[in-house]
Structure 1
Amino acid sequence: MPRRSSRAKAPPAGTALQAGLRLLARRDHSRRELERKLLRRGHEADEIASALIRLAELGYMDDAAFASGLVRRRSSTRGPVALSAELAGKGIERSLAEAALALFAPEAQLEAATRIAERLYAAGPPLGYREALDRIGSKLMRRGYSAGIVRQACRAVLSQGTPDPAA
């Protein structure tokens, strides 16, 4: 009996439409994510294209809804810069990403960044004002918050616990 190469792909089970429905039943996917996964599973490009059109027609796949849902779910732990990068990585068009990020108002960004800063300040050892500002500020920047939001959140948290040497 001939041995199959471990690199040879088994033919896909079912149609691209069925596979797409199974993937969407687990969680929402962007159009590009779904396309990549179906290609990896061995479906033909033309079959995938028609399946994606049909899934969109049926309302099972909507990049605008996907983008706004991702922003809503992740906005408590990530800033708009990180969210924008994540949306781009998932293949969301720039205009759809900007529309979804518009829902993440600056007040909500400041509130989320302040909550994160409070947690970071409470979790770490007691630090001087400058050290705390550097540590918390850099972590907030890595999470995708703008410099202005980071500055306001740090000021709000550090004014409660550590005296500002510049004041």
Structure 2
Amino acid sequence: MTGLGDVALLAAAGVLAGVVGTAGGITSLISYPALLAAGLPALAANVANIVAIVACWPGSALASQPELRGKGPWLRRWVPLSALGGAAGSALLLSTPSDVFARVVPFLVAAGSLALLAQPRLAVRHERRGSPDAVLPLGLTALSVYNGYFGAGVGG
């Protein structure tokens, strides 16, 4: 980052990302490109964005309490798989050269976009079946690895 213009850009992006987040949007769609525009390399921008998203988690957890009520057994079953996937994605991120990461990012954005498009159909399928099938653990693992690797492609 070079100066006051970058600071102003990042401050404005932070405010806009906060507004997007309160509306249920993905704040990273604002903050990650702003970090890139301010001159951070893709890998450093991703890591900075992941660290910033961590601050959103406590508020998200508190706001999600009504939806999570009675879901303890479900969470105990699937959180360990999510944590392992996230750890695997993080390990992959730490072992990826930054130039490779920069080349892979457009494909990750495309994959995340396709996943968002598929979400309504998957939700309907889940409602009809009523119980998790093989798609849930596979999808949860893939999503967790993706999230651990490319934090700018996730919620928050």
**In which range does the TM-score fall when normalised by the shorter chain?**
under 0.3
RCO higher in 1 or 2 (8 Å CA, sep ≥ 6)? Answer: 2
Question: TM-score, normalised on structure 2?
Answer: 0.28
Question: TM-score, normalised on structure 1?
Answer: 0.27
Larger Rg: 1
Which structure dedicates a bigger proportion of its chain to helix? 2
